[in-house]
Amino acid sequence: MKRKVVIDAENLIRTYKSGDAEVKVLRGLSLQVQEGEFVSIIGRSGSGKSTLLYQLSLLDVPTSGRVFVDGVDTSTFSEEERTRVRLNEMGYIFQDYALVPELTAEENVVIPLLMQDIETREARRRARVVLEKVGLLHRLKNLPNQLSGGEQQRVAIARALGHSPKIIFADEPTANLDNETSLVILELFKQLHKEGQTIIMVTHEREYTAETDRVIKIFDGSIVFEGSPKELRE
Amino acid sequence: MKNRASNIFHEVRVAIRVGWFLALRQVRRANIWTNVLVIAIMALTFLNLVVVSGILVGLIEGSVKTIKTHYLGDVFISTPKGKNFIQHSQDIVKTAENIPGVVAVSARYLEGGIVEEDYKKTKKPGDSGNEVGTNITGIDPDSENRASDLARLVVEGEYLSPDDYDQVLVGSLLLKKYLDFESPNFPVLERADIGTKIRITLGGNTREVTVKGIIKSKADELDRRIFMVDRQFRNITNRFDYNADEIVIRIAPGVDSKAVRDAILATGAGAYARVQTAEEGEPKFVKDMKKTFNMLGTVISSIGLVVAAITIFIVIFINAITRRKFIGILKGIGINALAIEIAYVLQSVFYAILGTALGVAFVFGFLKPYLDVHPINFPFSDGILVATLDGTLLRVAALFIATLIAGYIPARIVTKQNTLDAILNR
């Protein structure tokens, strides 16, 4: 059965100015992600995988090319409109957790829900549900600096999940974690995927792609491989 | 159109809610000493706005208050130009006494005269300092005290009593011991003190009198006069028509001095006398100084306001810049710029409210009541703190507007930056 396309990137080009020189980070890259798909993007440092994620999650605007989210062309969107799409359609997990330091674990999850105009009590209830899901119900009132790296990343995942986004973007979510904690995080992604969540994850660890539906390998701003983890291994 | 307005209203409402949520936690969980420092800066800024200008104005107000209390009264009647005295003075006094709200009326008799000390010694050519030209004033001590509280100004000796004869009160500026400077243009009595016999020459008659008391008010009009009982004054000057030179009227609190003035003028007194309220009777230099100090106060307040705005701007800007990454992250997870800006504006408002509240409590709970009782001893006035409710509210409002703008601009600068650049700190 053909599933709905939630992300459709067409011929993305992203260039940066470095002094007088122009660096082309993405070179006309196109891809589609279907609803419920778990896609991993791999590549060496500087290959353009994070830049691709920024374009897909509307954190950045491509120099040329278009990104369709749920069939809507976002190329003409203003910063405010992109922010609104991120709030309503996307959850983002940063490499360095990026929790707001003055907010407790619960409040970090609550804040996007408040922005969606959800009543505070309901927002707290939902936050508790997702924090329970990531095994942090006992850490609700802790500030980020009172949590370990793994716990912070789990709060970040809960924050990305809290407002039930269509797509979750994860930018090297295990990069700052030890192997054991990384496996816990990956297990969480696996679980979310099973529940039908669309996930696009950037990673440089090839073994972490094993549980994903599709692996996209980037080299020098272009897709050089696209297939299942098994095909990648072969 | 209506739908669009409703959407905007909804967005603003949500942004305020999220901004409040963020601001509250940012303030609550910020370093306590940072909060204390910022609130202290705001309180000091408020004091700078209110106290500096208030004391400047109070400097003059203190002088005006002294002149009004002890010299002009609430309504002041004086000799019109071209006349030597107020005709029908006693009629005017009686009229004034019968006006509702008038609590005291005092007629003063004035004559230029000469005061001498050491007059029994033979003067040598070139001797100076023992003869002073001055205004000698005849008063009914009881009426005068009710009208001008003159007895309170006695710093040495005693106040006059109605039966005193050959007893005088001497203004402090006529005595060397009370003068901080020496000037040939400002002659004084070198040795006169309480109990000293001095000689006054008044209307061609001389009389030996004793210094019973010394008065000091910081109002030249009083401190360069000699006061004696009016009965004796009239005897010396042969002024038995009872026509006075000044009439001072004290009214009860809450009574309109203009109404009293008009009631007196309605009797036709304007034909014989100049009838003025204390404000109208203020010497021109006092009015000019009031205007000057008000202007100075406004200038200083304006500078204080700019300093306050810059201080808040710097505090919020540093706060926003150091938290640029987190502002980027907030935008990254879908919090809109307006909510973040509101969070920073609310933080500045919080600092402004606490700082201002501290300032108001200090000014009205301590400083003003204290200075009312213990005025600052300036050379020419007893300086009080003038801080009216209207003026203070105006300054509070100005401080709030400055704070809102100063809180908003840096937040706007930071939220305007590219989200990704902010997140990646580049």
**Which of chain A's residues have a Cβ under 8 Å away from the Cβ of B325?**
98
Most confident stretch, A121-125, B287-291, B316-320, B396-400: A121-125
pLDDT tens readout for residues B24-38: 998 888 888 888 988
Lowest-pLDDT choice from A160-169, B70-79, B208-217, B401-410: B401-410
Which of B12, B18, B26, B333 to mutate: most A Cβ within 10 Å?
A: B333
Contact B85, B243 (CB under 8 A): yes
- For residues B397-408, give the mean pLDDT: 85
pLDDT > 80? residue B40 = yes
pLDDT > 80? residue B185 = no
Cα–Cα dist A138/A144, whole Å:
14
Residue B122 binned pLDDT confidence (cut-offs 50, 70, 90): low
Say yes or no for a CB contact (<8 Å) between B336 and A84: yes
Which residue type, as a one-letter code, is found at position A51?
Answer: T
Beta strands B197-202 and B102-116, pairing class? antiparallel
Q: Which of B174, B166, B178 is nearest to B202 (CA)?
A: B166
Residue B362 binned pLDDT confidence (cut-offs 50, 70, 90): very high
Say yes or no for a CB contact (<8 Å) between A115 and B337: no
Taking residue A70's Cβ as centre, other Cβ atoms within 10 Å add up to 16
Q: What is the mean pLDDT of chain B?
A: 88
Residue B172 binned pLDDT confidence (cut-offs 50, 70, 90): very high
Q: What is the DSSP letter of B189?
A: B
- For residues B194-200, give the mean pLDDT: 91
- DSSP string spanning B355-406? HHHHHHHHIIIIIHHHHHHS-EE-SSSEE-----HHHHHHHHHHHHHHHHHH
Which of A88, A90, A114 to mutate: most B Cβ within 10 Å?
A: A114
Residue B401 binned pLDDT confidence (cut-offs 50, 70, 90): confident
Residues 6+ apart with CB under 8 A from B82: none
- Please give the pLDDT value at position B47: 87
Say yes or no for a CB contact (<8 Å) between A114 and B25: no
pTM: 0.73
Cα–Cα dist B404/B396, whole Å:
12
Higher pLDDT, B304 or B254: B254
Higher pLDDT, A206 or B12: B12
Could you tell me the two tokens for A203?
């990673």
Residue B123 binned pLDDT confidence (cut-offs 50, 70, 90): low
ipTM: 0.90
- Out of B25, B332, B334, the one facing A102 most closely (by C-beta) is B25
Lowest-pLDDT choice from A36-40, A77-81, B395-399: B395-399
Report the CATH superfamily, name and number, of domain A5-233.
P-loop containing nucleotide triphosphate hydrolases (3.40.50.300)
pLDDT > 90? residue B282 = no
- Please give the pLDDT value at position B225: 94
Element (H, E) at B312: helix B284-322
- For residues B55-77, give the mean pLDDT: 88
Say yes or no for a CB contact (<8 Å) between B337 and A79: yes
pLDDT tens readout for residues B228-265: 999 999 999 988 888 999 999 999 999 999 999 999 99
Query: Ramachandran region of residue B238, left (φ > 0), alpha (ψ -120 to 50) or beta?
Result: left
- For residues B315-340, give the mean pLDDT: 87
pLDDT tens readout for residues B407-422: 888 888 888 888 888 8
Residue A1 binned pLDDT confidence (cut-offs 50, 70, 90): low
Cα–Cα dist A170/A178, whole Å:
17
